[in-house]
Amino acid sequence: MSTPIVEVRGLSKLFHGGVLAVDDLSFAVAQGEVCGLLGPNGAGKTTCLRVLLGLIHPTKGDAFLFGERVHPSSPLLGRVGALIESAAFVPHLTGMTNLKLWWESGGAKLRDADLDGALAIAGLGDAINRKVKTYSQGMRQRLGLARVLLGRPEVLVLDEPTNGLDPGEMREVRQLVRRVADEGATVLLSSHILAEVEQVCTHAVVMDKGRLVAASTVDDLVSSSGSVYLEVDDVAAAERVLRELTIVQRVQVEPPGLTVGMNGGKRSELVAALVRAGVGVETVMVRRRLEDAFLNLVEGDE
């Protein structure tokens, strides 16, 4: 088996004050994969990414890039393009100056950077020569993505990359991630937008409370979701009945029906219980969405 491009092994991070942000986390991302890092707020995703980039010292365990242990200011970081949380710049300098200085600060020559490609991605036109403090959130985010791609990175680490973008820009970013991946880059992408992960990612790692909940291909996760959508004539009564069943993990009201997360059992048992309680069932439909799989995994972990 080839060496994973990105790997965390037994990673834990305990912050001052006793907050255990990451707890014995292990996963790996192979060459060319687009891996989504999923988890509710506070799951430890950003902490994990920061360790991977040498920004945070792990309490235990290690992070690896290209098979080598990552440490602050590791030369391996020159092969990585990263956007952690929202893009930030030196506000009193122009977008262009920010890009150039950031690149040169690493000791690289400007001629080695893909400046034209980055500027095309930023799509800021003449605004590239304006001070960054005059930019909107979306413009900063686009400039941030341009900065990520300046060095034609082999690995992209993106934390909520579509933050602050409008729907059209979000779509462009997703296409961009896919294109970069198609060109051979490995991508680790953290996002709250599950539909985005479903569209872009080939693999997913699900975290909750700092721990690994699942790691698989997106297709496998979705097909194992075990969610059922039921359209009924009395949603409130159906919700009461379903919540009492042991095979039901969660119930989410979605008028005119409900989505039911199951942990085992048969769909027919749900229908039988509803009919016995006098609730008419109009439709039973198997749901295969990442959102349902994610909620089942995370709520099942509680």
Partner 1 sequence: MGVVRTETVKTTRRLRTYISFGVVIVIPIIMTIALKANPPDQPQGGGGGGLFFLSARFSGLVLPAAALALMSSFLLIIIVAIFGGDAMASDASWGNLRFVLMRPIGRVKLLFAKLGVAAFVSWAAVFTVVLVGLVAGAIVFGWKGLDAPHFENGHFTVIHQSVADLLWHLVIATAYVSWMLTGLVAFTFLLSCVTDSPLAAMGTGVGLYITSQILDAIEPLGSLRYVLPTHYFDAWRDLIFQGHPTSDMARGALLMIGYVLLFTGVSVWWFRRKDILT
Task: Output 56 or 274, the one with its CB closest to partner 1.
Answer: 56
In the complex, least distance from residue 151 CB atom to partner 1, rounded to whole angstroms: 9
**What values do phi and psi take at 197, rounded to 5?**
-65, -40
In the complex, least distance from residue 239 CB atom to partner 1, rounded to whole angstroms: 41
From 2, 41, 73, 246, residue interacting with partner 1 (rule: CB under 8 A): 73
In the complex, least distance from residue 195 CB atom to partner 1, rounded to whole angstroms: 27
**Cis ω on the peptide bond leading into residue 255 (within 30° of 0)?**
no
Task: Output 90 or 253, the one with its CB closest to partner 1.
Answer: 90
Task: Output 60 or 92, the one with its CB closest to partner 1.
Answer: 92
Tokens of 92: 């009193």
Q: Which of 196, 254, 253, 198 is nearest to 225 (CA)?
A: 198
Determine the Cα–Cα distance for residues 145 and 46; give it in Å rounded to an integer.
17
Pattern 89-128, partner 1, x by CB under 8 A: xxxxx---x---xx-xxxxx--------------------
Pattern 77-96, partner 1, x by CB under 8 A: xx-x-x-xxxxxxxxxx---
Q: How many other C-beta atoms are found inside a 10 Å radius of the C-beta of residue 183?
A: 9
Question: Sheet of 19-29: strands edge to edge?
Answer: 19-29, 6-15, 60-65, 68-69
Determine the Cα–Cα distance for residues 81 and 153; give it in Å rounded to an integer.
5
User: Which residue ranges make up the site for partner 1 (CB under 8 A)?
Assistant: 15, 50, 53-57, 72-78, 80, 82, 84-93, 97, 101-102, 104-108, 147
